[in-house]
Amino acid sequence: MLRQEVNELLTQTGPDAAMGKMFRQYWIPALLAEELPEDDCPPVRVKLLSERLIAFRDSDGKYGLMDEFCAHRGVSLWFGRNEEGGLRCPYHGWKYDTNGQCIEVPSEPADSGFCEKIKLQAYPLVKIGDILWTYMGPKESQPPYPEFEFATVPSEQTFSSKRFQECNWLQAMEGGIDSSHVSFLHSGSLNTDPLFKGARGNQYNIADKMPFFEVVKHEGGLYVGARRNAEDGKYYWRITPWVMPCFTMVPPRGDHPIHGHFWIPIDDESCWAWSFDYHPTRALSDVEMEALEAGKGVHCEYVPGTYIPKANKTNDYLIDRQAQKEGRTYSGVEGIAIQDSSLQESMGPIVDRTKENLVSTDNGVIMARQMLRKAVTALRDKGVTPPGVDPAHHRTRSVSVVLPPEQAFEDVCKQDLEAAPGKPHTSV
């Protein structure tokens, strides 16, 4: 349970909000690289952290992300002509480069100096992996580029997607670090989804619905360990790293690719749920790629031409009560991603955390909130750089492992929880 002011502190991410300022300390995913597929392609409207922006790729392949609206009279640059090294407003021909700098005002003499004074707010936009990342904070505190393993492995080993989610980022993220709901909500999919099925660990997941949680801090966030019973008195551990503010990796299953997420605020009542699958040591197989592109695993199918899930609030997520009754899906909703989004969106745009009743399996959620709260106030009050900014914090991995009861995961798995190029991951 949170007091209302704490709920607001953690959920509001506009330019003036404390959490908004904290989000602006990080590199965050802004677009899929596929959204700007070639030089001089159409610009793309992007809303992030409540700011309306335009993304484009100029004639030289440079990426730009800047205010959506022309500095002249406020026309949306989405209608702009992307040509010859800049994006040109179609109203009076003002032109901007990828830094937001105005480089042409046709009505004014070139030597008037007017053009040089016009500059749109712009943010860096860089391609790392399949994703275009931005940093929306003050120039002086811009950190080095992100180093999440999924984004740095060779491209044939990784796949990313995003989907629109109609709720605040925090309740989506809380679902991501809450390993206990897998035994319920996703139970129907563990043995059927091509990107989940067949792993030995699935059986422990389904058999033990009362996991014990052990949550351990690391420099960039938390390791949320969920312990279930395995055979012979041993424990099946699933360890979910959470890196501040909104990165998680789901513990792996057998030799399947590892998946994970970001939840990036669009505004305070919607977010982009980013999902990736990668394999640390091999290319994704054709079968895997086909499944990923078909929206299996943690990905989804879309309304054509959009990143809006096909199963969404307007159609009650295509719930199938017969499938629910027969247990083919636990909630009647198909697909792991939509199972999550349907419930998270059902809580309302921003869930009222003054009314909740948390239990021991919510320890990961509770500690993440505490860590967020501490970091957001330390930044606000003392200018302290929050955990997760340093790329060293990104180099982590999720783990699933069976251990004898006397072993603590944080000791035994120390190495396994670190990303390392070419090193196989630890997965049961």
Residues lying near a copy of itself in the complex (CB under 8 A) are found at: 40, 42, 69, 71-76, 78-81, 90-93, 105-109, 114, 118, 171, 174, 180-181, 183-185, 209-211, 319, 321, 324-325, 330-333, 339, 342-344, 346-348, 351-352, 355-362
- Smallest gap from Cβ 182 to a copy of itself, in A, equals 10
Quick one: 283 or 347, whose CB is closer to a copy of itself? 347
CB count, 10 Å around CB of 349?
14
Say whether 63 sits in a helix, a strand or coil: strand
Contact 172, 340 (CB under 8 A): yes
Cα 341 off chain centre by = 13
- Tell me the C-alpha distance between 419 and 409, whole Å: 16
- Smallest gap from Cβ 185 to a copy of itself, in A, equals 5
Quick one: 361 or 398, whose CB is closer to a copy of itself? 361
Quick one: 147 or 320, whose CB is closer to a copy of itself? 320
- Look-up: residue for tokens 């991410």? 13
- Smallest gap from Cβ 263 to a copy of itself, in A, equals 16
CA distances from 331 to 70, 184, 316, 320 (A): 47, 9, 12, 8
Quick one: 232 or 322, whose CB is closer to a copy of itself? 322
- Tell me the C-alpha distance between 182 and 298, whole Å: 12
Cα–Cα–Cα angle for 245, 273, 248, rounded to 5 degrees: 45
Contact 385, 207 (CB under 8 A): no
Quick one: 359 or 411, whose CB is closer to a copy of itself? 359
101 DSSP 8-state letter: B
CB count, 10 Å around CB of 114?
13
- Smallest gap from Cβ 73 to a copy of itself, in A, equals 5
- Smallest gap from Cβ 340 to a copy of itself, in A, equals 9
330 DSSP 8-state letter: S
- Smallest gap from Cβ 411 to a copy of itself, in A, equals 26
- Smallest gap from Cβ 119 to a copy of itself, in A, equals 10
- Tell me the C-alpha distance between 221 and 225, whole Å: 13
**Spatial CA neighbour of 345 closest among 320, 373, 308:** 308
- The pair phi, psi for residue 336, each rounded to 5°, is -60, -40
Quick one: 14 or 143, whose CB is closer to a copy of itself? 14
- Smallest gap from Cβ 16 to a copy of itself, in A, equals 16
